[in-house]
Structure 1
């Protein structure tokens, strides 16, 4: 999988090169020249004091291209903004090479990468919300719009499974999983996996 690292500077961080020795370092203005047919991960560095809106461009990413934010000063607010802007993950600019490789593996397989503290907070909030609604009728209207297999795929996504894991669990190919997800997003009027998870788990 190809890696493109987009930064305002010209000197890559040493850990980036150790984790992704074949990565291409690009200026932000060069991002639009990346071929849509080439799968890979676009890593954007958010330097201290920069705003996400000025760093993350409006990209029409291809199906097998993913975006990750490398943040000099990560916090939960930045992570949420990054996800809202279409990023599949957010991690520290100076993360160890092993962590960067893990981020690439998760994101490359269609998963989301967020910090442990934010993940725990989101799961805790969802669990409390579901507990409060336990006595109410569960709103499964979304399932009526999907086929049986699409419903199974949607439930797997809501449980945090990657495309590869879903394919293994349902004994189908990853290409079929992606096709089902495209149909699910279209039928439910959703943009991404995070919105789907929130819809199903709320």
Structure 2
């Protein structure tokens, strides 16, 4: 597996080189030619039209990670929509970059924890902003579980949900665990996608 780094306006970052010593700095055009399925291409968001570079690479089985000096929830969502498997700060510590590489190599999605809520909220809004599960599945949730599920889907952290519903964070975690179990999901992203499903036509 090879690591390729694409940046338009500046040279590669020392921390990135420390994380991946054998990696190569290439142009966007060279990344298209050289990257093979299973390779990782790390693209700085100063690269012109980076979504149009990320999408075909991702479709070919290349692992794409977008890096930014000013990460935002909007851009993280745009990166995922363009087929990237990761999005992180360009000045992240080498250990964090290595962790992101490991997660994305194993079919996971990497987004910094502080942006995950905003990404989830934007995803939920993009799916319509209201639950579209069959009513019998939603009725399996208690009223409080439904309140917690919808608040999390809208991008609120456990602390924000607790404050909004006037309950403890521990209670939020307990309700969320029950929601995951009842709806057959394993994490917040799957919850958003599950709630955004269209109701089945009877």
Q: TM-score range by the shorter chain?
A: 0.5 to 0.7
Structure 2 unaligned blocks of 5 or more: 125-130, 139-182, 197-202
Cα separation, 2, equivalents of 1:134 and 1:9: 46
Aligned to 1:164: none
Post-superposition shift, 1:40? 1.5
Aligned CA distance change for structure 1 residues 97 and 133 (closer, same or farther; 3 Å): same
1:62 & 1:135 partners in 2: Cα distance? Answer: 32
- In structure 1, runs of 5+ residues without a counterpart are 127-131, 140-154, 161-193
Query: C-alpha deviations, 1:119-177, integer Å up to 9, x for none?
Result: 24538x97xxxxx78993228xxxxxxxxxxxxxxx98x525xxxxxxxxxxxxxxxxx
Q: Which residue of 2 aligns with 1:15?
A: 15
What is the match of residue 200 of structure 1?
194
Find the aligned partners of 1:14 and 1:114 in 2 and give their Cα distance: 21
Runs of 4+ aligned structure 1 residues displaced above 6 Å come to 132-135
- Whole-Å Cα distance in 2 between the matches of residues 134 and 199 of structure 1? 10
Give SS of 1:200's match.
helix
Q: CA RMSD in A?
A: 3.5
Larger Rg: 2
Deviation of residue 200 (structure 1)? 2.9
2:114 corresponds, among 114, 117, 125, to 117
Q: Helix, strand or coil for the counterpart of 2:22? A: coil
Structure 1 position 62, deviation (Å)? 5.9
Report the count of equivalent residues. Answer: 145
- Shift of residue 91, structure 1, vs aligned partner: 0.3
The question of whether the paired residues in 2 share the 8 Å contact of 1:9 and 1:27 is answered with no
Partner of 1:187: none
